[in-house]
Amino acid sequence: MKSKIGIGLIILSFIICLNPYFLIFGIPTFLVGSLILFRSNKNLKSKLLWFFTPLIIWYPIMNLFIFITGIIGTATAQKLDFIFPENFKGKAIIVSNMPCGQEVEFYKNREQIKIPESGILLYQGELKYGYINHKYYSIDKNGKKSELLALYNYMFWDDYENPPKTEKFGVWSGGGGQKYFNNSNEIMYSYSEFILSSKDSLNKLNDFKKNKEFEKKIDSLVLNCMKKN
């Protein structure tokens, strides 16, 4: 009975540890399972096999698991095309679930998010979190689209292979959040933020006064939309 419990805990810990964020739970489970197993009547060869095998195969199996889940997650994620005006620079905010906003439009099974010159889009749809399947485009006056590069901070780390130049222009995801009414827990709106800039120009966009003015414009558009509905 002890050997079955120990082996069960070892298997459970192995599954848990396939997600490296759960190592803090998986490692203690593995140690407890191993302790129970070694105190059982199982023969020594089997004990050693159950103890060392997970340690040897964990790293390659974990990488394979992450690779496969990443492919599946991206394939099943919400497919979004963000289309910016030609020469657009700076911050863009998409406010979700706005009844008077841009209607949900699909092209080749991908939602088309068309950002106006103001950089503020009220959108009737919802931008979901989790795995992403995003593409970014710039569109000129004739309707011709050019794909924009997606940029992430890790691309500029020392150990990243072939990092882009710091002056390379692209799209940064600023994440998302929720705005609440003053002195209330009631959500005013949910938003997603994107920044069109090069790495060496990001700091120039952190102007407190301009950001507050931009936020006031968003609030005003949202409140007007709510009053209409």
The 10s digit of each residue's pLDDT in 122-177 is 999 998 888 889 999 999 988 899 999 999 888 888 778 888 888 899 999 888 88
Tens-digit pLDDT profile for residues 95-127: 999 998 899 999 999 999 999 999 999 999 998
**Which has the closest alpha carbon to 95: 126, 52, 116?**
126
- pLDDT (0 to 100) of residue 178: 86
194 contacts 181 by C-beta, under 8 angstroms: no
Question: 130: exposed, middle or buried (C-beta count within 10 Å: 0-12, 13-18, 19+)?
Answer: exposed
Residue 4 backbone dihedrals phi, psi, to 5 degrees: -65, -40
Query: Which of 106, 107, 81 shows the shortest CA–CA distance to 94?
Result: 81
| pLDDT above 70: residue 210 | yes
pTM: 0.78
Using alpha carbons only, how large is the chain's radius of gyration in Å? Answer: 25
What is the sign, positive or negative, of the torsion defined by CA atoms of 32, 38, 44, 46? negative
Name the one residue in this structure whose structure tokens are 């709106």: 189
Residue 69 has pLDDT above 80, yes or no: yes
Residues 101 and 104: their CA atoms lie apart, in Å, by: 9
